[in-house]
Amino acid sequence: MNELVSITVGKLLEQVANTYPDDQAVKYIDRPFDTTWREFNEKCDQIAKGFLRLGIKKGDHVAIWATNVPEWLLTFFACAKMGAVLVTVNTSYKVFELEYLLRQSDSKAMVMISGFKDANYVDIVNELCPTLKDCEPGNYVNPMLPFLKDIIFVGEETPAGMIPWNDLYTLAEEYPQEEYRAIFESIDPHDVVNMQYTSGTTGFPKGVMLTHYNIVNNGKAIGDCMKFSHDDKLCIPVPFFHCFGMVLAVMASLTHATAMVPIEYYRPTSVMQALQEEECTAVHGVPTMFIAMLEHPDFKTYKFPRLRTGIMAGSPCPVKVMQQVVEEMGMREITITYGQTEASPATTMTTTDDSIELRVTTVGRSMPFVETKIVDPDTGETLGPNQPGEFCSRGYNTMKGYYKMEEATRQVIDEDGWLHSGDLAMVDENGYYKITGRIKDMIIRGGENIYPKEIEEFLYTHPMVKDVQVIGVPSKQYGEEVMACIILREEAKLSEQDVKDFIRANMARHKVPKYVAFMDDFPMTASGKIQKFKLREMAVEMLHLEDAASIETA
């Protein structure tokens, strides 16, 4: 990557469509969606005009609550083309989390599917918006969600009060082309194009504001590390609603005109089928995904003739799994990326030219045009090679800030523009980084960031819970699992299952603790601070997790 580029996501898509009009852009293996870049660009133009005709304006926020369906991609690029901001919604959210996100993000519209796994999205939306079904589509009014006007439904039999997705194509015909092009041309690369909600390092989820400039350049740098070109084909089983799916996959593909083969949601057989049938050259995944494929009873029956590269990231990558993927899947050029949503997200990455040893034991070197350093968490002093400290980065990829949270933004981006990750890391003499732990207590379970405070706050609402601490404990499968340590009120009776059911009914599945321990007290410092690291040590011993705790990661 020789220089940073200043172009909007919409203009970049148009550029690729003009350069490679007849090359494959997006192909699904489980539905009739197979488009060239020209066709894909035209569909995105139609949806953009449909949004405008509906009354969505440049600068408005559009939430999307869906798995990796084609409409997700069309919504993202349509928003980028007409200047709206895409607000990504975790597919596992329940009513408690959805209400918070829609209210905090000031979303004017939401595109949604019928549901995913145990979550019925239609029921959840009707619980949150009880008068929606009695409203004319597009005329919804709710004082609790003052910005929300339109719910656009993807699927058969559109529920009452919602707008059918296909209506957007009809509406598009009514919107003047000249007006659309004027809006398209008015968008600035430094405008916000996406808001990703992350639990980050403190408190409730925050909307990370990412610009066209952030994600185009980060996508370009990521694709360069894998030597992507228009001859490549990337299988995408990671969710679009994360930066992993949206930037490391979709934007890295767009910047290199690489074909995309999305998987609606991860299933080992679907991914292996796509890799074989479509002869994909690359696939992304969190370690858990690769482990599930390698351990699948039918793994040996699949062949991956062209598979060479991809990214393993999202949570600490076990060295043994990296080596297996290289040897048994043929991914001799697999890479590791490290970063955070606030950094668009990649700050370091290995390349296909790095040795296998470096690619399985480190998270690579600084991305082009990104400064990185290790500092002493207490003094802020920059540390030398092989000294553990906090990882910090600075560059074009740093977010614009957290939406409507100026103080929280100041807490992570210092006055010199350095973004503080909260992660402990070391760098060697050659600039290769290793992540060694986390200063704060955020849990990363299979690539999902889980902030304990959010679960703790919710558990505090249970009438039998006196005190609670939520910690991450080691897991061979997911890197970490959630554990709730609870002190009950006097004479209260609560079972482990009661606690899990209480959370499961109100929060996303990945936040339900795998382990629940009832305690009389918590380990404290002399000044009365709870020692979470001691709780973790106790849990490792109590649950016999010593083997999982000793797994070596990059």
Tell me what percent of the residues of the chain surpass a pLDDT of 90. Answer: 82
Cis omega (within 30 of 0) on the bond before 237?
no
Residue 201 is predicted with a pLDDT of 45
User: Do 461 and 321 belong together in one domain?
Assistant: no
Considering only 182-186, 259-263, 494-498, 550-554, which range has the smallest mean pLDDT?
Answer: 550-554
In which domain, by residue range, is 261 found?
Answer: 9-326
DSSP string for residues in 307-320: --EEEE-SS--BHH
Angle, in degrees to the nearest 10, between helices 95-105 and 121-128: 60
Residue 343 is predicted with a pLDDT of 98
User: Do 316 and 456 belong together in one domain?
Assistant: no
SS3 assignment, position 341: helix
Instruction: Tell me which residue has tokens 């409730």.
Output: 204
SS3 assignment, position 81: helix
- Which one of 308, 326, 344 terminates a domain? 326
The pairs formed by 378-382 with CB atoms below 8 angstroms and a separation of 24 or more are: none
- Which one of 311, 326, 341 terminates a domain? 326
CATH number assigned to the domain comprising residue 103: 3.40.50.12780
User: Is position 195 within any domain?
Assistant: yes
Pairing of strands 515-518, 479-488: parallel
Q: Does position 518 have pLDDT exceeding 90, yes or no?
A: yes
SS3 assignment, position 227: coil
- Which one of 299, 326, 353 terminates a domain? 326
Per-residue pLDDT band for 466 (boundaries 50, 70, 90) equals confident
Please give the helix or strand (H or E) that residue 127 lies within, else none.
helix 121-128
Pairing of strands 448-450, 479-488: unpaired
CATH number assigned to the domain comprising residue 535: 3.30.300.30
User: Is position 433 within any domain?
Assistant: no
Sign of the C-alpha dihedral, residues 121, 125, 130, 134?
negative
User: Do 174 and 37 belong together in one domain?
Assistant: yes
User: Is position 109 within any domain?
Assistant: yes
HEC-encoded secondary structure of 472-540: EEEECCCEEEEEEEEEECCCCCCCHHHHHHHHHCCCCHHHCCCEEEECCCCCECCCCCECHHHHHHHHH
User: Is position 106 within any domain?
Assistant: yes
Per-residue pLDDT band for 525 (boundaries 50, 70, 90) equals low
Digit-coded pLDDT (tens) for 162-202: 999 999 999 999 999 999 999 999 999 999 999 999 864 45
User: Is position 25 within any domain?
Assistant: yes
- Smallest Cα–Cα separation from 503: which of 469, 456, 443, 466? 456
**Structural domain count of the chain:** 2
Rounded to the nearest integer, the mean pLDDT of the chain is: 94
Q: Does position 440 have pLDDT exceeding 80, yes or no?
A: no
Tell me what percent of the residues of the chain surpass a pLDDT of 70. Answer: 98
User: Is position 373 within any domain?
Assistant: no
Using CA atoms, how far residue 299 sits from 286, 288, 313, 504, in Å, is: 18, 15, 21, 32
User: Is position 390 within any domain?
Assistant: no
Q: Are 33 and 240 in contact (CB under 8 A)?
A: no
Other C-beta atoms lying within 10 Å of the C-beta of residue 398: 20
Distance CA(308)–CA(305), nearest Å, equals 9
User: Is position 401 within any domain?
Assistant: no
Joined tokens for residue 143: 């004082």
